[in-house]
Homo-oligomer: A and B are copies of this chain.
Amino acid sequence: LEEECRWVEAQNSKGECGLVPEDYIQVSRFFVIRVCAYVGEEDDDGEWDEEWDDSRSTGGDGDTPVDEDGGATGHNLHSHRKRTLSKFPFSKTPNPELYLLAKLPPKGKDRLPIYVTDVGPVWLYPESPLDCVVADPKKGSKLYGLKSYIEYQVTPNTTSRPVNHRYKHFDWLYERLLEKFGSAVPIPSLPDKQVTGRFEEEFIKMRMERLQGWMCRMCRHPVISRSEVFQLFLTYNDEKEWKTGKRKAEKDECVGPLIFSTIDPEAPELDSVEVEQRCELFSKFTKSMDDGVKDLLNVGNIHWKRCTGPLPKEYQKIGKAFQNLSSVFNTSGYQGETTLTDALTAAGKTYEEIAQIVAEQPKKDLHFLMETNQEYKGLLGSFHDTVAGHKAAIDKVKEADKMMLAGKITTQDKVTMGKRTSIMSYSLQAEMNHFHSNRIYDYNRVMQHYLEEQIRFYETIADKLKLALSQFTTL
């Protein structure tokens, strides 16, 4: 027997068959196992409980959250921990190459067209963009007050009718989106879970801000935003509709690499060399951008610490030193002293105010810059998996001739593989173009915001100093 990958036929839960590499036999269990995986996991309100999402008291159990930045500046909230737990008995890494020779289900109505425009392949964008507001976090409780949680109001611009969701609902949505679209569309992680202090005001505000950012990004995605599960999350009418919708989404079979079977690029098939080149280009870009973003986050973190730590302390000391000197001058007994001492005291107080302004400033400008870059760091991280899936498919295609010679696939199979990698490439290009246009918008916006706030900062200080200066006698 040769030491080569063998292809075997596998059957999914619906009894449908497809050719699968033997190496992935464990992964292919997915098709059989995933439905049973939820049996018995639903509790009385139709939801599984996450012990690490709900804690019985506000104070928590004494565990302190890991501060990855190593600082005590409060900016540790900027670190998003990687999610490591999974409910599913299989790796979440998409394996899009499985799709290359799989027997596909018949084409349904939910098709995802790709058009070629002057920027290249793009998804079909809705005429009016979807958006939503996450607001009004409220403490709720269940089990006669034994368990408490925070509920957020989510209001889409389409219905303007708010729906309530807990963090774990967002997490459920994330899992569904990852499962269904993750092979083609990088799904950014949700903001961190946190063990302690979940009910502290600052944490809730920060989480809400990040859930808003995450939802906003999902709303802006043409594939995600029109998906049934996303629409359910935003617009369910009552508990019954929500529960029914949830069960339906969980039973959705068109998940994982099968998403590519729903994509229709209205463009000529690409050859394998071009597919590979484009994939390499994107891979290189996301890697470089990831480095650049991490560098900026690093510098921003150091700057944040200086601006909230030693720098305002120094301005405060300068302010105190001026006021101190003013107090001494006041004891001189010399006539005509007060004009100077009043001005000197005012100047000292001005520097104390400047200390306050400096310390508060990062929350006003650097915060948004950091959040955006943090979001992009996550996004680029999920891009890595998407690109890796494409690379694996390309490697498979490269083996096509050998496999054909060995009689493992037919000529028709090879043609199918080429056609499907072309579809995958169009999907990746549409996704990259979506990413680029969003990136240009986001970085334009965040840089403008940063610079505007910086200008306001320097002008505010200059104005305060002008006022302080005006108190001194003209010589």
CB distance from A327 to the nearest CB of B (A): 8
Minimum CB distance partner of A336 in chain B: B440
- Report the minimum CB–CB distance from A106 to chain B (whole Å): 36
Name the contact of A340 in the complex, choosing from B321, B443, B451 (C-beta under 8 A). Answer: B443
A456 — nearest CB in chain B belongs to which residue?
A: B462
The answer for the CA separation of A329 and B322 in the assembled complex, in Å, is: 48
A8 interface residue (CB < 8 Å to B):
no
Separation of A331 and B466 alpha carbons in the complex (Å): 45
Q: Cα distance A133–B466 when bound, in Å?
A: 31
A452–B469 contact, CB under 8 A? yes
Q: Are A306 and B310 CB-contacts (below 8 A) given A285-B328, A325-B293, A461-B458? A: yes
Q: How many copies does the complex hold?
A: 2
CA distance A344 to B442 in the complex (A): 13
Cα A322 to Cα B327 in complex, Å, equals: 46
Binds B, one of A254-262, A294-302, A407-415: A294-302
A35 interface residue per 8 A CB criterion: no
Q: Which residue of B lies closest to A373 (CB)?
A: B325
Residues of chain A in range 283-319 having any CB-CB distance to chain B below 8 Å: 284-285, 288-289, 291-293, 295-296, 299-300, 302-303, 306, 310-311, 314, 317-318
Chain A interface (Cβ within 8 Å of chain B)? 118-119, 281, 284-285, 288-289, 291-293, 295-296, 299-300, 302-303, 306, 310-311, 314, 317-318, 320-322, 324-325, 327-329, 331-337, 340, 343-344, 347, 433, 436-437, 439-441, 443-445, 447-448, 451-452, 454-455, 458-459, 461-462, 465-466, 468-469, 472-473, 475
Q: Beyond the given A299-B320, A299-B321, A302-B317, could you list 14 further A-B residue pairs with CB under 8 A, ordered by the A residue number?
A: A119-B336, A285-B332, A289-B325, A291-B328, A292-B321, A295-B321, A296-B321, A300-B318, A303-B317, A334-B433, A334-B437, A444-B472, A445-B475, A452-B469
